[in-house]
Amino acid sequence: MNLFEKHEALLKKAMDALHARTFFAAFPEHPAPAIYGETADADGQAHFKNQLGKKFEELKQTHTTGWGGQEESPYTQEPLSVLYPMASVDTLISNATKAFHTWRKVAANERAGILLESLERMKKRFFEIAYATMHTTGQGFMMAFQASGPHAADRALEAVAAGYEELNRFPAHALWDKPMGKFNIQLNKQWQAVPKGISVVIGCSTFPTWNSVTGIYGSLITGNPVIVKPHPGAILPIAIFVAEIQKVLAENNLDPNTCQLAVDTFDKMITHQLAEHPSVKLIDYTGNAAFGSYLEALPGKTVFTEKTGVNSVIIDSVDDADKAAANLAFSVNLYSGQMCTAPQNFFIPAAGIQSPNGKISFDDFAQKFAGQISSLVDNPKAGPFVLGAIQNKKTKERTTEAEKLPGKLILKSRTLENPFFKNARTATPVVVEITADKKDIFGKELFGPIALLIKTQNTDESILLAQEMAWKHGAISCAAYTTDPSVKEKIADAMALATTPVSFNLTGGIYMNQNAAFSDFHVTGGNPAGNASFTNPEYVAKRFTWVGHREPVKQNG
């Protein structure tokens, strides 16, 4: 049985899920011993710890010239001291160019089999990847396990399924028979999907696998070699993914340089040089808007970006104010607001919001919200693990500076001690009340645990401001609370025009931060927050070009 046959049933399920948009998860998100094995957690943690202070020697890419790495744990604020093989941009390009001319000729089903085999093997390393993610990003263990392991693998599988479907959308050959009266013109026609060339995937510091694997697997399934350029502060999680891909490639007599890891350091970054190289045809990027816009403007490149956005919450009326406040408080606390889908701007009418128990004033809801944040933060069994740690020192500084914004300070940020990591870099959410005319403040992303409660004239103004923020500055997510069907329709229509998805009336265990593979399109590609979407047909179809050849049918006699 070849690898495609081994994984064909899973691929078929994934393709069906793309169309159904219902719940589908190939990789269980719960780190239960019954699923992953009794010793999986301990083994993964041991593998991670054993890697610290050593060279990462699993990669099979060639022509490397030295070793480097500058990762630091947000939990210990000490270097991981993991070193990775490094190579010049010219070497990486040369390796990829050579690999391209083999990989592009590998049949789509064979490519799919290899990629799905790599994901199956990744499953055995989810715990190791989780600890690597914790100590590079600051995510809590549960998020690190789910986002960098099962959820990332599901997103990768989604990209493979979408790419495979697009590659098989049209026939490889056909007989073209055109009646011409007394005779027919017959042509043999054939088509091939020609990959565009070298792909560079530029990773981010907060979600090093989840935000990268879709581009990696999307390019690989469509026949393009990939150079993975991780953020210098978060290398190890994606290095493990690349290593597993390379191992499967080598085992199948294919060039492991088909997927390379391009490590650089903060003092000598190679991102510009890679992106501008004329041989690079595809670029995937997650990060700040300025650099993303620069990449989008590069000539001769097909670029897929996820940039910064300003995410809004519109509060009109609620069934249960306490449950709504609790849900929103969790969204702000989750990974200390260091998610591209985290809420920032909370638009609330000055006259208050309606509820079954009567009108709730602006101030009362603000206090409920702040109280729910503090309640979660102060819960020793939840707070430190939901908040995690702050990945970047600048994020912590930004959170502290937010307390000085021209408005009313409702909740001050503070440091929270983690019971397992006394030196963890932490910051609890800051909540500030400001007026609706302060667009210069809320009209930009304030990355981190920062919540702005914006007092509007009414819900209509709230909707207009949320829409304006998405149009002008981009938005990846939006939440809304209303018990009025006509207001719900008004919000849905306004935000749809701003190409921003809305989560309505969330309470309980689902939050506006979360996106599910095979069902939710992550980023729409329609507003300034990004030009691509995980994962629609365009996301994979733009990575190759259909080329057709034709020839007259030879007549017998």
Domains annotated for the chain, with CATH where assigned, are: 3-21+34-171+195-307+532-546 (3.40.605.10), 312-504 (3.40.309.10)
Q: How far apart are CA 32 and CA 119, in angstroms?
A: 19
Q: How far apart are CA 149 and CA 132, in angstroms?
A: 11
Residue among 184, 458, 455 nearest 317 (CA): 458
The first and second tokens of residue 225, run together, are: 């070699």
DSSP state of 339: S
Task: Tell me how far apart the 2 most distant CA atoms of the chain are, in Å.
Answer: 92
Q: How far apart are CA 338 and CA 351, in angstroms?
A: 31
Q: State whether residue 86 is helix, strand or coil.
A: strand
Please report where in the chains the tokens 């490519």 appear, as a residue. 111
Q: How far apart are CA 207 and CA 310, in angstroms?
A: 18
For position 544, what pLDDT does the model report?
Answer: 98
For position 234, what pLDDT does the model report?
Answer: 98
Between the CA atoms of 19, 21, 22 and 28, what dihedral angle is there, to the nearest 10 degrees?
Answer: 100
For position 1, what pLDDT does the model report?
Answer: 78
268 phi/psi in degrees, rounded to 5: -150, 70
Residue among 305, 8, 6 nearest 164 (CA): 8
Q: One digit per residue, pLDDT tens: the chain, 557 residues? A: 799 999 999 999 999 999 999 999 999 999 999 999 999 999 999 999 999 999 999 999 999 999 999 999 999 999 999 999 999 999 999 999 999 999 999 999 999 999 999 999 999 999 999 999 999 999 999 999 999 999 999 999 999 999 999 999 999 999 999 999 899 999 999 999 999 999 999 999 999 999 999 999 999 999 999 999 999 999 999 999 999 999 999 999 999 999 999 999 999 999 999 999 999 999 999 999 999 999 999 999 999 999 999 999 999 999 999 999 999 999 999 999 999 999 999 999 999 999 998 999 999 999 999 999 999 999 999 999 999 999 999 999 999 999 999 999 999 999 999 999 999 999 999 999 999 999 999 999 999 999 999 999 999 999 999 999 999 999 999 999 999 999 999 999 999 999 999 999 999 889 999 999 999 999 999 999 999 999 999 999 999 999 999 999 988 75
Residue 373 and residue 332 in contact, taking contact as beta carbons nearer than 8 Å: yes
Sign, CA torsion 297/298/300/302: negative
The first and second tokens of residue 267, run together, are: 């003092």
Cis peptide before 535 (omega within 30 of 0): yes
Residue 64 and residue 154 in contact, taking contact as beta carbons nearer than 8 Å: no
Q: How far apart are CA 491 and CA 257, in angstroms?
A: 48
Give the pTM: 0.96
The first and second tokens of residue 345, run together, are: 């701007």
For position 555, what pLDDT does the model report?
Answer: 80
Q: How far apart are CA 388 and CA 400, in angstroms?
A: 17
Q: State whether residue 106 is helix, strand or coil.
A: coil
Q: How far apart are CA 236 and CA 230, in angstroms?
A: 9
Q: How many CB atoms lie within 10 A of CB 408?
A: 14
Please report where in the chains the tokens 């990004």 appear, as a residue. 530
Residue 165 and residue 15 in contact, taking contact as beta carbons nearer than 8 Å: yes
Annotate 407-436 with DSSP letters as a single string: SEEEE-------SS-TT------EEEEEET
Residue among 243, 168, 214 nearest 4 (CA): 168
pLDDT 10s digits, 479-529 = 999 999 999 999 999 999 999 999 999 998 899 999 999 999 999 999 999
Q: How far apart are CA 318 and CA 439, in angstroms?
A: 26
Q: How far apart are CA 403 and CA 409, in angstroms?
A: 6
Q: How far apart are CA 526 and CA 391, in angstroms?
A: 29
The burial class, CB within 10 Å (0-12 / 13-18 / 19+), for 50 is exposed
Residue among 240, 239, 270, 242 nearest 256 (CA): 242
For position 390, what pLDDT does the model report?
Answer: 97
Q: How far apart are CA 172 and CA 170, in angstroms?
A: 7
Q: How far apart are CA 317 and CA 337, in angstroms?
A: 24
The residues, any chain, with a CB within 8 Å of residue 334's CB and separated by 6 or more, are 143, 342, 386, 511, 513
Q: What is the CA radius of gyration of the chain?
A: 25
